[in-house]
C-alpha cells in the first residue's frame, strides 16, 4: 500500500472509531472539578448532579474541590486536562463571564479553552435590607440614599463577585450615592446586614429567604428578569422601577464544561447524560430546595450564552472599576 492510500485508510479507520468510542464511553470514573470550597451552593449543586450522573452512566463521578484565585485555579485544571471527556468541571457566570474582565491575567480563555457541555441551572440574587432601614421598596431605598449621602452601604462576597456587581449596576442606573463594602464571602456580609452594620446586599435566595421569613431582613427585589418561582411575592428589579437592570446581566447560572477538543460524539453523549441526570425528578426536587431553576441546553446554546454574558458583564466590571492582579 502506497503512502497516500495508507494515510487515507488511517483517516477512515479513525473516523469510524469515533462513534464506537462514544458508544463505549465511559469505561472508567469521571473526574468533576468544583473550583470552589466545599459547603457552598456550587458544591451542593455539583454533588447532587454528580450523584445522579454516576447512576445514568454506570461509572463513579469523583468530585474534587479546587478553590483559589476566584475559581480560576480549578477552571485552569479543567482547561488543561486531556480532552477525552473524563474530566469535566463546574462553570459559573463568575468563572466564565466575569473573571475574564476582573483578572488582568487569566491562565485560560473562557471562550476558547473549554468545551461547553450544558447549562445546568439559573438562579437569582435578592436585594435585602436591614429591617431598621425606613424603606419598603427599591424606589424608597434609592430616595433614602440620595437624601442621606454617604449613609447607605452595600456588602458583597468580595470585589468582582456577582453580588458586588449587582450593587454597582443599581448604583449606576439610579445615580445613587451608595458605598460598596467587600467581605470574604456572602455569609459575613449577610450577618452584617442583619446586625445593621451595612444597609443592604444582594444574596442568593437559599440563604436569604430564611432570614426574610424570620424578619431579620426585608426583601425588596430579585435580580432575575421575572419573579422567581421560589419567591413569587418579591418583584423583579425592573418591576421595582430599575429600568435597564436586566440588560446588564440578570440571569446567573451554573453549567458544566470540559477542556477544548473533546470529540463531538463524546460531547453529544455527555450532553445527553448530563441532561438526563439534571432532569431526573429526584435531581429537580433537590435543586429546587436549593433555590435553583433547571436550565439545560445544547453545547452550542451554552457557548452562545457564555459569549453574550461575557460581553454584558464586561461592561459592568469596567463600570465598577473592579480589578484583581
Given this model, what pLDDT does residue 3 score? Answer: 58
Same domain, 239 and 132: yes
- Between CA 223 and CA 235 the distance in angstroms is 9
List, for residues 137-146, the tens digit of each pLDDT value: 999 999 999 9
Domain CATH code at residue 260: 3.40.190.150
Same domain, 157 and 240: yes
List, for residues 102-128, the tens digit of each pLDDT value: 888 899 999 999 999 999 999 989 999
9 in a structural domain:
no
Residue 181 pairs with which residues in a beta bridge?
Answer: 155
List, for residues 2-25, the tens digit of each pLDDT value: 556 565 555 555 555 556 667 789
Instruction: Give ∠ CA 105-108-109 in degrees, rounded to 5.
Output: 100
State which of 248, 283, 311 marks the end of a domain. 248
Q: In which band, very low, low, confident or very high, does the pLDDT at 131 lie, cut at 50, 70 and 90?
A: very high
Nearest of 157, 143, 153, 128 to residue 221 by alpha carbon? 128
Given this model, what pLDDT does residue 7 score? Answer: 55
Grid coordinates given for 121: 441551572
Backbone angles phi, psi at 219, to 5 degrees: -95, 130
List, for residues 171-184, the tens digit of each pLDDT value: 989 999 999 999 98
For residue 208, pLDDT over 90 is answered with yes
Per DSSP, the residues of 135-192 read: -SSHHHHHHHHHHSTTT-EEEESSTT-HHHHHHHHHHHHHT---EEEE-SSHHHHHHH
Q: In which band, very low, low, confident or very high, does the pLDDT at 251 lie, cut at 50, 70 and 90?
A: confident
Given this model, what pLDDT does residue 104 score? Answer: 85
Residue range(s) defining the domain that contains residue 240: 125-248
- Half-sphere CA count of 205, side-chain side, radius 13 A: 23
Same domain, 136 and 208: yes
Same domain, 148 and 107: no
State which of 248, 265, 297 marks the end of a domain. 248
Same domain, 183 and 294: no
Domain count, the chain: 2
Are 292 and 43 contacting, i.e. CB atoms less than 8 angstroms apart?
Answer: no
**C-beta neighbour count of 201 within 10 angstroms:** 30
Amino acid at each position: 500500500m502506497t503512502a497516500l492510500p495508507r494515510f487515507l485508510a488511517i483517516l477512515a479507520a479513525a473516523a469510524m472509531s469515533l462513534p464506537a468510542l462514544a458508544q463505549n464511553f465511559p469505561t472508567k470514573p469521571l473526574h468533576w472539578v468544583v473550583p470552589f470550597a466545599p459547603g457552598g451552593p456550587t458544591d451542593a449543586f455539583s454533588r447532587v448532579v454528580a450523584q445522579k450522573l454516576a447512576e445514568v452512566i454506570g461509572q463513579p463521578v469523583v468530585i474534587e474541590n479546587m478553590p483559589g484565585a476566584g475559581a480560576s485555579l480549578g477552571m485552569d485544571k479543567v482547561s488543561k486536562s486531556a480532552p477525552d471527556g473524563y474530566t469535566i468541571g463546574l462553570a459559573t457566570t463568575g468563572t466564565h463571564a466575569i473573571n475574564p474582565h476582573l483578572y488582568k491575567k487569566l491562565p485560560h480563555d473562557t471562550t476558547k479553552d473549554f468545551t461547553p457541555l450544558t447549562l445546568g441551572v439559573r438562579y437569582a440574587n435578592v436585594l435585602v435590607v436591614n429591617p431598621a432601614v425606613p424603606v419598603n421598596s427599591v424606589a424608597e431605598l434609592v430616595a433614602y440614599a440620595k437624601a442621606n449621602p454617604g449613609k447607605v452601604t452595600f456588602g458583597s462576597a468580595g470585589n468582582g463577585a456577582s453580588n458586588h456587581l449587582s450593587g454597582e449596576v443599581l448604583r449606576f442606573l439610579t445615580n445613587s450615592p451608595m458605598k460598596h463594602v467587600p467581605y470574604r464571602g456572602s455569609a459575613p456580609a449577610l450577618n452584617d446586614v442583619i446586625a445593621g452594620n451595612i444597609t443592604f446586599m444582594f444574596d442568593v435566595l437559599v440563604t436569604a429567604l430564611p432570614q426574610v421569613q424570620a424578619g431579620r431582613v426585608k426583601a425588596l427585589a430579585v435580580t432575575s428578569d421575572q419573579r422567581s418561582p421560589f419567591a413569587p411575592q418579591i418583584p423583579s428589579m425592573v418591576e421595582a422601577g430599575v429600568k435597564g437592570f436586566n440588560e446588564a446581566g440578570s440571569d446567573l447560572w451554573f453549567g458544566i464544561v470540559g477542556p477544548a477538543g473533546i470529540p463531538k460524539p463524546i460531547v453529544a453523549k455527555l450532553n445527553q447524560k448530563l441532561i438526563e441526570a439534571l432532569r431526573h425528578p429526584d435531581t429537580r426536587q433537590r435543586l429546587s430546595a436549593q433555590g435553583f431553576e433547571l436550565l439545560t441546553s445544547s453545547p452550542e446554546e451554552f457557548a452562545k450564552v457564555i459569549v453574550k454574558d461575557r460581553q454584558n458583564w464586561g461592561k459592568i466590571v469596567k463600570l465598577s472599576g473592579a480589578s484583581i492582579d
